[in-house]
A = this chain, B = another copy of it.
């Protein structure tokens, strides 16, 4: 037997018991004739004590223990004279009578502490050491708990978890697939799923009624910070539902998860039109932890002789509270430059300072008199000490830029508070996006999304311009400015699905080749259905107020898609390629 208890559970009530513990040496200290060793496992830390007077040999042995040695100790639970109130086991210690080193350890390349001195690359290469750190360990345990609560809740709502296949078919729509050569079918390939979308719809046609799955998905994209080639979704689908049924069900799930993992009671989620979200916040995933809503100034600021505004489609601003007097000219210049970086691309930044002394200072002071500027301030409800930031230009672009500024000011003013959760349903997305470059429509959500019922006729019979105005029964769940989930009511009619593929530029043959099985299924009694998918990695991060998903993934890949620990991907033997009927191309291989 290696242990009778773990390192987190002994209390004063165990005093006098002889116990066995196993774990890692967190640290050891020699104080006079005593040696103290902190023994750590997943559950906590317990202090071991060795006394030179009582057992010299054992104490010498303890003094040789290095950091991260794995040991087994037997001893008696005793009350500590010097209690540690910060540790659940802090009232007791173990007077050790037997000690066995189960495994020695080299000195770790970084410290196993809350705050480590290890850089990202080192932490990824020695992930097994990184996982011993509370910060990472607790994230991984949180993830497990969140997954279990998800399953318990959805089970209580009659959902069935169904595993859909990983070896499926490549489709050129959407992001790039990872492909898997088939040895038994030379020259042919499977693809790894970007999502189980078509399979969950097939399950609805199969009468499964309520489906979910917590499932890995794959996208071969050029990696950006905080994107992973494999990621996890809570994937769900329901039959015989309207949009309300779905929003209510998954609002219920989300509330359950917050309650049962964080003990947070979320309020009912507001719902906001896509159009309204853009107008008020310049984003389809507004962070509602703070206001700073957009106000449009076209009526108050145009036709007053300032040609930049007059020639703009939109003049729009936000009001940042309390910084009029503290933000210097230099600060304002820096902020303007920040907005002018290529990532944002604003031409300039107009501001109006309402100083505490009642005076007004503005970059456009020579075009507008104070009275006019005050009418602007009134529109924002600006008080002395506040600043208006104003952008102008083409509406869509300007809103996007102002959204960036709003978020930046939210950060600077400390308005994005940890532990404050502001969920929101964004609904009524456009069905199609016109892409000027490729001169075709793209699906705003995906090709299986249904237009709103009242738009079906216009979709089947309308002209090209009509298509741009179609609304979809699509929705996103947004929490604190992060898109947590998204979904839609699906098309369940062959004709409508076929029309959608037409609009998206599929030829009849391509549509049939790639999605014929689904359109075929629609002819055998497909029920109305819809669903949603949650980004599970992101949900974990947002619930813990962390910005990176990486530390909620046990073995993440780096920005080049490499697993630094196992060193993958890697070259394979030529015989393996021969079996697959494949040859490498001309590009020099990396090794």
Contacts and interface: CB of A to CB of B under 8 A. Distances in A.
Interface residues of A, number: 131
Contacts of A209: 6, 41-43
A193 to B, nearest CB: 11
B554 A3 contact: no
Interface string A163-202: 1111111101000111111111111111110000011001
B144 A571 contact: no
The oligomer's copy count stands at 2
B189 A571 contact: yes
A554 B203 contact: yes
A413 interface: no
Interface string A550-573: 000111010011110111111111
Interface string A103-118: 1111010000000000
Given A70-B526, A131-B206, A585-B581, A569 B185 contact: yes
A42 to B, nearest CB: 4
A563 B168 contact: yes
A167 B563 contact: yes
A165 B555 contact: yes
Interface stretch (A217-225, A314-322, A358-366): A217-225
A1 B245 CA distance: 9
A141 interface: yes
A308 interface: no
A492 B167 CA distance: 34
Nearest to A142: B160
Interface string A407-440: 0000000000000000000000000000000000
A70 B590 contact: no
A287 interface: no
A589 B186 contact: yes
Contacts of A395: none
Nearest first, the 4 closest Cβ-Cβ pairs linking A and B are A187-B589, A131-B206, A105-B525, A2-B240
Interface of A: 1-3, 6, 22, 24, 40-43, 68-70, 72, 102-106, 108, 126-132, 137, 140-141, 143-144, 147-148, 151-152, 155, 160-170, 172, 176-192, 198-199, 202-203, 205-210, 216, 218, 220, 222-223, 229-230, 232, 239-242, 492-493, 517, 521-528, 553-555, 557, 560-563, 565-573, 576, 578-591
